[in-house]
Amino acid sequence: MEGECVIAGAGEYYGQVISPSPADYVIAADGGYRRLREMGVRVDQVIGDFDSLGHRPDHPNVVQLPAEKDDTDTLYALRVGVSMGFRVFRIYGGTGGRLDHTLANIQCLSWLAGQGLRGWLYGDECVLTALRNEELAFDVPAGRTVSVFALGGDAEGVVIEGLKYRAENIRLTGDFPIGVSNEGLGGPARVAVARGAVLLCLPREARAR
């Protein structure tokens, strides 16, 4: 499918302006609807229990969820995008504010990676993604911070190339943050994990290859 699924939450935006392409599908998750309206961004669908927004929005495509549910508003929105056939998901307003919501959205990245899909979660000067039994090549400016963490258990066969600190076939564990604060060298880099999952924290300027 052409285009990507863009999801806007009620968290922080850090001055970012969302500019979806005509082929992208834009979902507002609860209070993200207000943020998109303020930016003048079109909204294709609104999903949520509307505890953040405070009311059911006046929009032609609304899915109102119960307050007591297993899925977060963001995860439900991701399920909608997956059912539509999208393979790349960009989550804005999914960090900052409540820490538990930020952690929940990091778990959503892992959920996407487990299905062979790519999720990007935008934070303050950084973007997060999860890799599961795969690799990601990217370009990163010199001196910019790149961090790699085990996600959801031990990560085996981790390879880190093109950064200041390299690694070859190492094991990352969830209780020792050895992968924090690596640095870009101003060129191509690569992170791979043979078994398990890692959380990759990149600067916003980084570009996947």
The pLDDT tens digits for 174-192 are 999 999 999 999 999 999 9
Q: Is 84 helix (H, G, I), strand (E, B) or coil?
A: coil
What is the pTM for the complete model shown?
A: 0.95
Residues 32 and 76 in one domain: yes
Q: What is the per-residue pLDDT across 100-118, written as a single tens digit (0 to 9) for each?
A: 999 999 999 999 999 999 9
Domain range for 24 is 5-124
Site of tokens 């999914």: 94
28 and 117 both lie in a single domain: yes
Task: Tell me which residue of 74, 65, 85, 204 sits closest to 145, measured CA to CA.
Answer: 204
The total number of structural domains that make up the chain? 2
Position 17 scores a pLDDT of 87
Q: What percent of the chain has pLDDT over 90?
A: 93
Last residue of a domain, one of 124, 155, 173: 124
User: What pLDDT digit, counting tens, does each position of 123-170 carry?
Assistant: 999 999 999 999 999 999 999 999 999 999 999 999 999 999 999 999
Does residue 95 surpass a pLDDT of 80? yes
98 pLDDT band, cuts 50/70/90, is confident
For residues 174 and 154, the answer to whether their CB atoms sit within 8 Å is yes
Residue 140, both tokens: 């990163």
Does one domain contain both 178 and 96? Answer: no
CATH number of the domain residue 99 falls in: 3.40.50.10240
* Cα distance between residue 130 and residue 3, in whole Å: 20
Structure tokens at 182: 């690596």
